[in-house]
Structure 1
Amino acid sequence: MQILLLTIAGLAFLMIVLEDVFHINKAKTTLFLGTLAWLLLFLFPQHGLNSQDIQEQLNENILEIASLWLFLMAAMTFVAFLNHQGLIETMIYKVLPQRLGERKLMFLVAGFAFFFSSLSDNITATLISIALVLSLKLDARKTRRFAVLVVFAVNSGGVALITGDVTTLMIFMQEKVAIDDLLWLSLPSLVSVMLLAGMLSMPLKGEVVIHPTPRRDDKVGMVIGLIFLLTILSTIVLNVIAGVPPLLTFLFGLSIMFLVGRLCYKDDERENLLDYIRVIEFDTLLFFLGILLLVGMLKEIGVLNSLVQIYDVLPTTGANFVMGLLSSLVDNVPLTAALLKSNIAMDTASWLTLTYAVGVGGSLLVVGSAAGIVAMSKVKEITFISFMRYSLYILIAYSVGFAGSYLVGHTLH
């Protein structure tokens, strides 16, 4: 049965890779195979488990999935409204000059995505950064390069803050690293992002001419834009001072958006803010659901725990590097949880390199991080195969960042 379940996971991965060949939406195949795997777990329990044990495991996984699913829904609804209002484009046009070299623009986008993801969660940062890229109306090849950079920059930006990445928070909560140690990680992270920007910008030689598009003269849109900003800031502050889950704060902000829309548009039958929930990419949400069901299944059958045995084969630094590579195939949260539960003996410097590895390594494949999946849903030019064409560049940048995290850790300790 375990071999069959592993085969199902492998088939799901293969169907994602070959989506352009079979022309079957990846959301459909991953949801089918993810639910099939859990059905088999119930029908053929392993290791002496009964249906109640498996139900508890499923409930735990569904809770994690629902939290991410609802958070993504709330963030995407905000961004859908702001895009419709043209507020994101307007903000960009006020900051950028009317003519700008494509290489310089690449570095500006890298910096924006990096620092915005330090202040916000990865999903929101990706949505806003991708909206920025799409508003520039570049050709398909250039748009793809910018989107690849956004994924890497977003994953790198949050790795040094406990509010920016879940795995960083998990390692911090286990008292493996201190906040001042983590802050130093931002240096190699930023260097690696700028290195990738430099590599991706090499063939770019043109100029971008920004043509501002008229936006709706709607003060309500400005108010909701402010609500969105306050929601992001409140998510960080409330999580730090009171442990409030980000999902709860974002849903609260979304409810305020709906109430403001109802009060301000009550005489306008054309505008109903609830309609924006219907225009978000539900195939992205279903893809998330299928992927996380499969990852949860792998966790329950002990596959993730067996990956920890890499530390018995490789030196600690080498094993940490490989864990980053594996995080592009397996969700980094259960992977990090398995490492923390295994009580591997590592010094602070090694925990810092692991923090960087599991936070950034998922950028190597488009399905390896939430940022990648969101980018793939928003940018039609991004597929599994087209993203892989840049994996060598990403691997070089990741390796430089990993080496930098090693130097930072051993300099501090």
Structure 2
Amino acid sequence: MLHTFLLILAVLALLSIIFEEVTHINKAKTTLFLGCISWIALFVAAGDSTHQRLIQQRLSENLLEIATLWLFLMSTMTFVAYLNAKGMIQIIVAKLFPQQISVRMLMIQVALFSLGLSAICDNVTATLVSLGLLTTFQLDSHLKRRMAVLIIFAVNSGGVSLITGDVTTLMIFLDGHVHMVDLLLLVIPAAVAVILLAILFSLSAKGTVTAAPVQQQYETVDLVIALIFISTIILTMLLNILFGIPPVLTFLSGLSVMFLVGKTVHTDTEEIRILEYIRQVEYDTLLFFLGILLLVGMLKEIGVLDQLAQVYAGHNPDIANFVTGMGSALLDNVPLTAALLKADPQLELSGWLGLTYAVGVGGSLLVIGSASGIIAMSKVKELTFVSYLKYVPPLLLSYCTGYGLTLLLGHYLNH
């Protein structure tokens, strides 16, 4: 009875996201409410103090994961908010992209930019920076929505080939199932799939777009903070690989350096002080993450993810991986991957590479299926759950193409 009630809450949360445009109720509020209610129900149904303590321990673990993500998001968003407000992102785009460019070429260049950026830094940062590109070009709402969808797919695809790009790739690597050289080969199917999607999206696109004029005026401190941001991204990767330092700790350190630099250079009379850029972070996005992760933690607690792992183990790995990737569009891919690794399926290299690609890219099939999609939905008002659905056919075709190429590479390596 309890499990049925909790599953109903999860379905209601999904429906509240889908029909946000109809109900006009912010999805962050509904998911947070239902996520909290689900854990309250677990405590009420616990019965005895021993079980209650167990639920408390699981909730504390879940909240620790959420807090880590929150702090990481807050620090990256603050950097991006500052650089965007000071026009630094627009200046970088002006250096990389021509003042006037055809829509088709813009799509391919943005896709490759997002793909490459997400391979060397986390998906959250890659999404925020890539979406910042869109603000520099004069795009209509339809084109902006299509570009946002392309960025989501490219960002998720870029993360699968390096352990610095995606948490699930790192998890599979640390479990000893794939080597670094094997992962690097995934850049081939990932790039092919992204370019295919860019071509499909550009078939009906015509004309050229013009970048908004960029005032090449910035202070030395802005350049210094931009360098601090880039250095923080690089150090996040290096320190995590060499010493196992959590990315959130490195990014918070970088953020503190940014505050210290800002305090040293700027006067107290400045209209917006460096520290106050933290207030420009959109907390709706963070609340939405909180609600979603509370619900996913509840599903893990009642054993739904473990049941999925058992079903996975009973089917052909190539098919199971493909379906698992599609399932990651509904369930967070991190606990899903953790559950599968815990089940310890006996797979060949092609199976592990297929799983790595599937759980990394499959979340792109729905806008709520990845951190990149959730952030894009909060940043691009033209992008909603329903409007995203019309892009599922080309997304699915690109996902199938990338997955198929991954299997071919994997089977070649097996022999």
TM-score surpassing 0.5? yes
Q: For the residues of structure 2 that align with 1:56 and 1:67, how far apart are their CA atoms?
A: 17
Q: For the residues of structure 1 that align with 2:138 and 2:62, how far apart are their CA atoms?
A: 39
Normalized against structure 1, the TM-score is what? 0.98
Q: Is 1:97 aligned with 2:98?
A: yes
Which residue identity does 2:295 align to in structure 1?
A: L
Cα gap change, 1:359 to 1:49, in 2 (>3 Å):
farther
In the TM superposition, what is the alpha-carbon distance from 1:194 to its structure 2 partner?
Answer: 0.4
Q: For the residues of structure 2 that align with 1:316 and 1:46, how far apart are their CA atoms?
A: 40
Task: Give 2:14's aligned residue.
Answer: 13
In the TM superposition, what is the alpha-carbon distance from 1:219 to its structure 2 partner?
Answer: 1.4
Contact 1:90/1:212 (8 A) holds in 2? no
SS of the residue corresponding to residue 158 of structure 1 reads helix
Task: Give 2:26's aligned residue.
Answer: 25
Task: Give 2:183's aligned residue.
Answer: 182
Question: Per-residue displacement from partner, 1:359-388 (whole Å, max 9, x unpaired)?
Answer: 100000111000001111111111101111
Question: Per-residue displacement from partner, 1:320-342 (whole Å, max 9, x unpaired)?
Answer: 10000000000001000110111
Q: Is 1:399 aligned with 2:396?
A: no
Identical-residue share of aligned pairs (%)? 54
Unaligned runs of 5+ in 2: none
Q: For the residues of structure 1 that align with 2:400 and 2:131, how far apart are their CA atoms?
A: 25
Contact 2:310/2:343 (8 A) holds in 1? no
Q: For the residues of structure 1 that align with 2:409 and 2:142, how far apart are their CA atoms?
A: 36
Task: Give 2:222's aligned residue.
Answer: 221
SS of the residue corresponding to residue 34 of structure 1 reads helix
Contact 2:138/2:211 (8 A) holds in 1? no
Which residue identity does 2:239 align to in structure 1?
A: L
Normalized against structure 2, the TM-score is what? 0.97
Q: Is 1:370 aligned with 2:371?
A: yes
Q: For the residues of structure 1 that align with 2:40 and 2:390, how far apart are their CA atoms?
A: 36
Superposed, 1:11-410 pairs within 5 Å as 11-45=12-46, 50-214=51-215, 216-266=217-267, 268-311=269-312, 313-410=314-411
In the TM superposition, what is the alpha-carbon distance from 1:9 to its structure 2 partner?
Answer: 0.3
Contact 1:87/1:215 (8 A) holds in 2? no
Which residue identity does 2:119 align to in structure 1?
A: S
Q: For the residues of structure 1 that align with 2:45 and 2:138, how far apart are their CA atoms?
A: 52
After TM superposition, the structure 1 stretch with the greater mean CA deviation from structure 2, 301-310 or 6-15, is 301-310
SS of the residue corresponding to residue 274 of structure 2 reads coil
Contact 2:349/2:413 (8 A) holds in 1? no
Matched length: 413
Q: For the residues of structure 2 that align with 1:255 and 1:175, how far apart are their CA atoms?
A: 35
Q: For the residues of structure 2 that align with 1:168 and 1:299, how far apart are their CA atoms?
A: 20
Q: For the residues of structure 1 that align with 2:124 and 2:312, how far apart are their CA atoms?
A: 31
Q: For the residues of structure 2 that align with 1:45 and 1:267, how far apart are their CA atoms?
A: 53
Cα gap change, 1:298 to 1:205, in 2 (>3 Å):
same
Q: For the residues of structure 2 that align with 1:182 and 1:274, how far apart are their CA atoms?
A: 39
Which residue identity does 1:411 align to in structure 2?
A: Y
